[in-house]
Homo-oligomer: A and B are copies of this chain.
């Protein structure tokens, strides 16, 4: 099933919701206006539709495989990644100084969606590389930057994030991998470390798509404090790098196995052994152990890792949108082709394509509304990121930073939960054929299932939303967002159209529900932490639902205005219809979530542990 990038919808968001005109007004982004966005997205669409998307099914049927420590990726992946690198796509958002294109996230994130919709498994390699680049840019020494950044940004090398250990998943306090400072000839520490330990769930931890792999690894330096305050971050390259930038000895980090997973099968999920490999080369004359280089300062590893993670969390949220889009396209195509049963309204005499049946329409509209709503939310978040990082005015930067930080758990948590629902609806639209692997709908369903888990489960996102983003400032940011939503409601209500009125009404109810939940969270956090965290995921779903619905409300207003100007009638009418559907079928879930959060907390923890 071919894939067609939703460039038109992306450009609509970039123009009307993310307001790229304002981004292009920021010094350094003068060339990053709507026309640049259009050119980049169209080129991105061409490349991914032709080269990356066709490999998606292949990756599922012929996953990456492991033999004797070597991982061979799906046939075609290596060549496609080479083309990806040569096209400069890895450097899209990275600094020109290191060979990147320096484009704003507002454009880069849309390209990320296209890549992920084309092939989620393939896209994970660049996604993790982006995280490694971010960490080095923020905390790496000049030497580390000089050694690694250009190669990563050009796509010659790739990056990984090494956090998880068998006993340490969400709980990084339990990390046991250790780092031993090495002494130089003088007996003084020479700035290098030897790393020993086992890391699991390392995405693209080993593969054959690039000449070197730059692992960013959390480990404890001997004598460091217990818990998360004793974790440091290290660069551990697969091959050591000589002074001239050429590749040196093989480092003592080895892929012991890869996982047999439910989905994203082409993406190798590695178990990496650092040090104590029996046949390890004694790379620098001090015995086994993987040579590592400290990033930033000792014991600040978690802080740096969060830089990578925050970038990755946003990107995983975009994966949720991407899988939704792909699943929607496949389901819509099938629904327009499959003939089955007469329409209930008698409008066709015989059996007709199933897209005529109201419930198939309901499923497709649900898929579409979720996808467009989450895409719009991600686009607006990207613009906030750009303003937060590049706007000349400090106040504007700060406000946008706060807004972006509030949105990250929603983009990650809500878009991925939604992505699973959409992928499941995609199977359902196909009926029995959806359950047959050959059809392809099942792959999206399986692939999507990881998205609410990795880079922090939905519960971890919710803890972040509740603790750091809501309770810490007493609900101030959350209420400020609600105030912005109220302004959109007023605009919608002022508009004469029945569609706008309907959306305003549902937004109002959802916002009221949200404000109740915010009050509960901010008010009870100290006295009743269990009650607050019992509602954390429903709170995230409520907030995500509302913010995405708000963006659909803004989209409706923009589409009405564009219609009035005579622009792209079919697209604008579809946007208005989809916004209204979102309001009436998705925003309507908000009050129920409020009841569950505000009035149902006690029943979550009422059952004693021994009763489970």
**B164, A432: Cβ atoms closer than 8 Å:** yes
Q: Tell me the smallest distance from the CB of A144 to a CB of chain B, in Å.
A: 29
Q: Tell me the smallest distance from the CB of A328 to a CB of chain B, in Å.
A: 9
A468 adjacent to chain B (CB < 8 Å): no
A306 adjacent to chain B (CB < 8 Å): no
Contact of A362 among B336, B432, B438, B534 (CB under 8 A): B534
**B533, A365: Cβ atoms closer than 8 Å:** no
**B358, A604: Cβ atoms closer than 8 Å:** yes
A6 adjacent to chain B (CB < 8 Å): no
A243 adjacent to chain B (CB < 8 Å): no
State whether A362 and B604 are in contact (beta carbons under 8 Å apart), knowing that A174-B351, A595-B584 are contacts in the complex: yes
Contact of A438 among B260, B263, B502, B580 (CB under 8 A): B260
**A359, B534: Cβ atoms closer than 8 Å:** yes
Q: Tell me the smallest distance from the CB of A546 to a CB of chain B, in Å.
A: 13
**B533, A355: Cβ atoms closer than 8 Å:** no
Using Cβ atoms and an 8 Å threshold, which residues of chain B touch A581? 600, 603-604, 606-607
**B577, A263: Cβ atoms closer than 8 Å:** no
Partner-contacting stretch, out of A51-59, A230-238, A338-346? A338-346
Partner-contacting stretch, out of A69-77, A90-98, A451-459? A451-459
Q: Which residue of B lies closest to A537 (CB)?
A: B359
Using Cβ atoms and an 8 Å threshold, which residues of chain B touch A449? 424, 427, 435, 442, 445
**B359, A607: Cβ atoms closer than 8 Å:** no
**B261, A437: Cβ atoms closer than 8 Å:** yes
Query: A362 to B431, alpha carbons, bound, how many Å?
Result: 31
**A588, B595: Cβ atoms closer than 8 Å:** yes
Q: Which residue of B lies closest to A200 (CB)?
A: B432
State whether A364 and B612 are in contact (beta carbons under 8 Å apart), knowing that A260-B436, A428-B458, A534-B359 are contacts in the complex: yes
**B438, A457: Cβ atoms closer than 8 Å:** no
A585 adjacent to chain B (CB < 8 Å): yes
Query: A262 to B570, alpha carbons, bound, how many Å?
Result: 37
Question: Copy number in this complex?
Answer: 2
Q: Tell me the smallest distance from the CB of A325 to a CB of chain B, in Å.
A: 13
Most chain B CB neighbours (cut-off 10 Å) among A171, A335, A435, A531: A435
**A359, B435: Cβ atoms closer than 8 Å:** no
**A577, B170: Cβ atoms closer than 8 Å:** no
Query: A591 to B454, alpha carbons, bound, how many Å?
Result: 33
Residues of chain A in range 514-573 having any CB-CB distance to chain B below 8 Å: 529-534, 536-538, 570, 573
**A529, B344: Cβ atoms closer than 8 Å:** yes
Contact of A434 among B453, B588, B605 (CB under 8 A): B453
Query: A170 to B599, alpha carbons, bound, how many Å?
Result: 42
State whether A435 and B459 are in contact (beta carbons under 8 Å apart), knowing that A344-B533, A534-B358, A585-B596 are contacts in the complex: no
Q: Which residue of B lies closest to A356 (CB)?
A: B609
**B262, A446: Cβ atoms closer than 8 Å:** yes
Query: A452 to B588, alpha carbons, bound, how many Å?
Result: 24
**B336, A171: Cβ atoms closer than 8 Å:** no
Residues of chain A in range 339-383 having any CB-CB distance to chain B below 8 Å: 339-341, 344-346, 351, 355-362, 364-365, 368
Q: Which residue of B lies closest to A438 (CB)?
A: B260
**A432, B445: Cβ atoms closer than 8 Å:** no
State whether A431 and B445 are in contact (beta carbons under 8 Å apart), knowing that A362-B534, A577-B606 are contacts in the complex: no
Q: Tell me the smallest distance from the CB of A165 to a CB of chain B, in Å.
A: 11
**B612, A600: Cβ atoms closer than 8 Å:** no
Q: Which residue of B lies closest to A589 (CB)?
A: B592
Using Cβ atoms and an 8 Å threshold, which residues of chain B touch A573? 608, 611
A420 adjacent to chain B (CB < 8 Å): yes
Contact of A459 among B355, B359, B595, B605 (CB under 8 A): B359
Contact of A358 among B420, B454, B530 (CB under 8 A): B530
Having A361-B534, A578-B607, one finds 13 other A-B pairs with CB under 8 Å, namely: A167-B339, A170-B341, A262-B435, A346-B529, A358-B530, A361-B604, A428-B452, A428-B453, A442-B449, A577-B606, A584-B596, A585-B596, A591-B591
Chain A to chain B contacts (Cβ below 8 Å), 22 pairs: A169-B340, A169-B432, A336-B609, A336-B612, A357-B533, A358-B530, A358-B533, A361-B534, A365-B603, A428-B453, A431-B453, A434-B453, A442-B449, A502-B603, A570-B610, A573-B608, A573-B611, A581-B607, A588-B596, A589-B592, A590-B592, A591-B592
